[in-house]
A and B are shown apart, each in its own frame.
Chain A
Amino acid sequence: MRLEKRQHSSALAMVLAPIGAVAFTLLVSTLLVLWAGAPVGQTYALLAQGAYGSVFALSETLTRAIPLMLTGLAATVAFKAKLFNIGAEGQLYVGAMAAVAVGGMHGGAGWDLPPALSFVLMLLAAALAGALLLLGPALMKARLGVDEVVTTLLLNFIVLLLVSLMLDGPMKDPTAMGWPQSVALRGELELSKLIPQTRLHTGLLGAVALAVALWALMKYTVLGFDIRALGANPRAAAFAGVPVTRTVVMVALLSGGLAGLAGAIEVAGRTSYLTLDMSPGYGYSGIVIAMLAALHPLAVVVASVFVAGMLVGADSMSRAVGVPTFIADVIVAASLISVLVATLLTQYRVRWR
């Protein structure tokens, strides 16, 4: 069996591909539901309901989608430049740490700034923290040829330990009675709610705005060209005069910054505290979202809502029917693989020897 590039995009393939991807994913998840002994139809219905079935469900889904959008954008800009940033999880946490340090602990030096200024500083600190964390591995790749996949991955573990250390010590919440969480963010720095009585906060607007901004940057600016050129063909990009190291630095700043912002916005919008479990793998999910969105910033918004829906829907469905929540992760991973294969088959046809 081998693959041969198609000469013309086949309309049939374009339609069958997404259908095939969905069908495969549904097959896998249905088998899993059957294994758990739960009624298939009801399970899917509850999944959909829990995700989008009511204003409350929708608000929960959108709330969950916010950090996913940001880590998805972080992965998008990095992967576009062929910088495989697997460290968004760690960058999210250092962003959250920085946010608490500036916004909850007054920068550790007891400053007392007006809320608006504090808020901006807090976000900047978070973005910077995430950016700096990625800068190391990015430069190591550009200058020393060290594969960034492993370095960014290992940093995730180091960061999580650092957070644990901080929560035990300097950032410990004195009022929490041993519960591992940090000092709280000042109340006036918290993001306000978009829909009252729900957890959906204005961070959504910020995330969508950033998606649009990233799209515009990639398509219309010189930096966007540099990033795409570098990712597509580094040698040709260098030949054309693209400043390679500077572009790598910018990509690291953008990607790490977005992931760091994800952490800050989670703290400011949802949790108000830094905790060890505030991110159930948002950094990693961001990568899946970026791939599902084919590295298109606007599609990242859609993909995040989809993935968030799966996660939220699975939570509520699980409480009712008992199918373990991990089915959401299986659905997401299976979607990723099937979408990749489906996309490939629209560009190549299969030839049996």
Chain B
Amino acid sequence: MTDPVLSLSNISKRFGNVVANDAISLDLQAGEILALLGENGAGKSTLVSILFGHYTADAGSITVFGQPLPAGDPKAALAAGIGMVHQHFTLADNLSVLDNVMLGSESLWQALTRKAAARAKLVQVGQRFGLGVDADALVGKLSVGERQRVEILKALYRGARILILDEPTAVLTPQESEALFDVLAQMVAQGLSIIFISHKLAEVLRVSNRVAVLRAGKLVAQADARDTTQAQLAQWMVGRAISPPQRRPSKHLGRAVCVLEEVSTAHARERLNRASLTLHGGEMVAIAGVSGNGQVALAEVLSGTRRITGGRITLMGQAMPQVASELVALGVARVPEDRHGVGLIGDLPVWENAISERLRSGAFSRGPWVKRRAAQAYAKAVITRFDVRGGGPTTAARSLSGGNMQKLVLGRALMHPGSLAEPDSAAFTPKLIVAHQPTWGLDIGAVAYVHEQLIAARDAGAAVLLISDDLDEVLTLGDRVAVMHGGQLSQARAALDWSRESIGLAMAGAEGVAHAA
């Protein structure tokens, strides 16, 4: 039995009151792919960030190839042979691929950059691992898959012998994920050892040799991938037996609520290009697609924050207004992708956030004055009904945890001031719910909660549009599923009519799957 190439011993880290890592001890053997599994918030990213030196552990030590690793120093980690492919790529859009990859590889005291040699080395590394990319291309112009390749090349260029990949398949189509797994196999063949972070059970079993499961900051299980099952992994991840999510198909299909006809938006990185879709009350239409194909544009157009330049959108038969406050007044509930940067205003208290989109309708204002007492009471109602924890109406929104922020955003969208009179009843149902990545970054409990709310609203007659990167979520929740590619929407077929393969092809823009409502 050879020594492990990497050994973490009793690593602990807390952020304020939150214990992110609790005395974790873990080994990585040479030439193996170790999957680090856990739900959102379990501590996986924190652990590898400590390993790479972005954070310093409060306690514990790390040994790499037999040598102790200095803490909190990415330079030392790189020198020791550790490379990291971040979940959110750390790339400069305005600089070239070569610049991004080369940075830090030469001493800052050197008088001249050896560009030709660097370029040659980049090509060579790319060939060795099957990752080709144009060295002089501006990173900002590359596709998501290509940018990930650059992120990986950064680590390989620096001679990484241990590679950490943080949720690498989150932004890839199923086919691209397979290609990535081939690359990983190549890397192992060339002598690398890999830590692969994921929360997707099937993937983990497919690609890794061993699995380590984190839950609430602790390492709760380690197992050989061949000796365990998805159900067992899920149980370790969550701490109790959970059944795989059930399909809950809609029972009553209502009238058309929102119709998009050949809708286009202005030229930008993400745009809509003659997209068409019909949403009926009582159904959930889920949109699958690799992020960056126009989902943001679609969500923004239906949220009233982006104008259309072509085509028409009707809401309940009338032209849909393109002003956010009017949409809210008409019964459109919006759950944005970025709860931190777009959904809530962190510096303002919870109550001001709770009424922010209804201030203009007169429900909480009398002339120029804000009806503070009514607003705070309403906020309290939202907090209670949607189980928002971590503060009261006057707490600053940024102090809430991610899950509670999302509950606040959801509650704000799904509740109505009229329901103050009967806080327990779902007296108000929105006409249309636009939910963009509503479960991103949430733990399983919060994810289940959000799903429940969306399904309940659908069953009460709302039309629900769910845009998500998570294929499992899309295929399980959606009554009909459409695929977004290049700003266009495919036909929205019944969820059961799609196979993983056909949807993967559509996500990649394969022929024969374009267009229509």
- Interface residue ranges, A against B (CB under 8 Å): 5, 7, 220-225, 228-229, 232-233, 235-242, 353
The answer, among B16, B17, B323, B343, for a CB contact under 8 Å with A236, is B343
Task: Find out whether the CB atom of B369 lies under 8 angstroms from the CB atom of A220.
Answer: yes
- Some 10 contacts from A to B, beta carbons below 8 A apart, are A221-B370, A225-B352, A232-B348, A233-B347, A239-B343, A240-B345, A241-B324, A241-B325, A242-B356, A353-B72
Complex alpha-carbon distance, A344 and B502, angstroms: 55
Complex alpha-carbon distance, A220 and B375, angstroms: 12
Task: Find out whether the CB atom of B323 lies under 8 angstroms from the CB atom of A222.
Answer: no
Interface string of B9-43 (1 = CB under 8 A from A): 00000001100000000000000000000000000
Task: Find out whether the CB atom of B368 lies under 8 angstroms from the CB atom of A222.
Answer: yes
Task: Find out whether the CB atom of A239 lies under 8 angstroms from the CB atom of B324.
Answer: yes
The answer, among A223, A232, A242, A353, for a CB contact under 8 Å with B346, is A232
Complex alpha-carbon distance, A304 and B222, angstroms: 65
Complex alpha-carbon distance, A223 and B341, angstroms: 21
A221-B370, A239-B324, A240-B324 given; A233·B345 CB < 8 A: yes
Task: Report A345 CB to chain B, min CB distance, Å.
Answer: 17
Task: Find out whether the CB atom of A229 lies under 8 angstroms from the CB atom of B16.
Answer: no
The answer, among A7, A221, A224, A237, for a CB contact under 8 Å with B345, is A237
The interface-forming segment of B357-365, B382-390, B422-430, B466-474 is B357-365
Interface string of B324-337 (1 = CB under 8 A from A): 11001000001010
Task: Report A197 CB to chain B, min CB distance, Å.
Answer: 42
Find chain A residues with CB under 8 A from B365 CB.
Answer: 222
Find chain B residues with CB under 8 A from A5 CB.
Answer: 16
Complex alpha-carbon distance, A203 and B160, angstroms: 71
Task: Find out whether the CB atom of B360 lies under 8 angstroms from the CB atom of A229.
Answer: no
The answer, among A220, A224, A240, for a CB contact under 8 Å with B356, is A240
Task: Find out whether the CB atom of A235 lies under 8 angstroms from the CB atom of B348.
Answer: no
CB-based nearest B residue for A224: B370
User: Is residue B372 within 8 Å, beta carbon to beta carbon, of the partner chain?
Assistant: yes
Task: Report B401 CB to chain A, min CB distance, Å.
Answer: 14
Task: Report B402 CB to chain A, min CB distance, Å.
Answer: 15
Interface string of B232-259 (1 = CB under 8 A from A): 0000000000000000000000000000
Task: Report B307 CB to chain A, min CB distance, Å.
Answer: 12
Which residues between 291 and 342 of chain B lie within 8 Å of chain A, taking CB atoms? Answer: 303-305, 323-325, 328, 334, 336, 341-342
Find chain A residues with CB under 8 A from B305 CB.
Answer: 238-239
User: Is residue B344 within 8 Å, beta carbon to beta carbon, of the partner chain?
Assistant: yes
Task: Find out whether the CB atom of A220 lies under 8 angstroms from the CB atom of B372.
Answer: yes
The answer, among A221, A236, A240, A241, for a CB contact under 8 Å with B368, is A221
A225-B352, A235-B341 given; A241·B304 CB < 8 A: yes
Find chain B residues with CB under 8 A from A232 CB.
Answer: 345-348
A222-B359, A222-B360, A232-B347 known; 19 other A-B pairs, CB under 8 Å? A5-B16, A220-B369, A220-B372, A221-B370, A222-B368, A222-B370, A223-B368, A224-B370, A229-B356, A232-B345, A233-B346, A235-B342, A239-B334, A240-B345, A240-B357, A240-B359, A241-B357, A241-B359, A241-B360
CB-based nearest A residue for B328: A241
Task: Find out whether the CB atom of A222 lies under 8 angstroms from the CB atom of B342.
Answer: no
Task: Report A250 CB to chain B, min CB distance, Å.
Answer: 11
Complex alpha-carbon distance, A225 and B56, angstroms: 40
The answer, among B336, B341, B345, for a CB contact under 8 Å with A229, is B345
Find chain A residues with CB under 8 A from B304 CB.
Answer: 241
Find chain B residues with CB under 8 A from A240 CB.
Answer: 324, 345, 356-357, 359
Find chain A residues with CB under 8 A from B359 CB.
Answer: 222, 225, 240-241
CB-based nearest A residue for B323: A241
Find chain A residues with CB under 8 A from B344 CB.
Answer: 236
A7-B17, A222-B359, A225-B352 given; A238·B370 CB < 8 A: no
Complex alpha-carbon distance, A137 and B163, angstroms: 50
Task: Find out whether the CB atom of A229 lies under 8 angstroms from the CB atom of B368.
Answer: no
Find chain B residues with CB under 8 A from A236 CB.
Answer: 341-345, 356
Task: Report B303 CB to chain A, min CB distance, Å.
Answer: 7
A7-B17, A222-B368 given; A229·B348 CB < 8 A: yes
Task: Report A16 CB to chain B, min CB distance, Å.
Answer: 22
Find chain A residues with CB under 8 A from B342 CB.
Answer: 235-236, 239
Find chain B residues with CB under 8 A from A235 CB.
Answer: 341-342
Complex alpha-carbon distance, A26 and B242, angstroms: 66
Task: Report B352 CB to chain A, min CB distance, Å.
Answer: 6
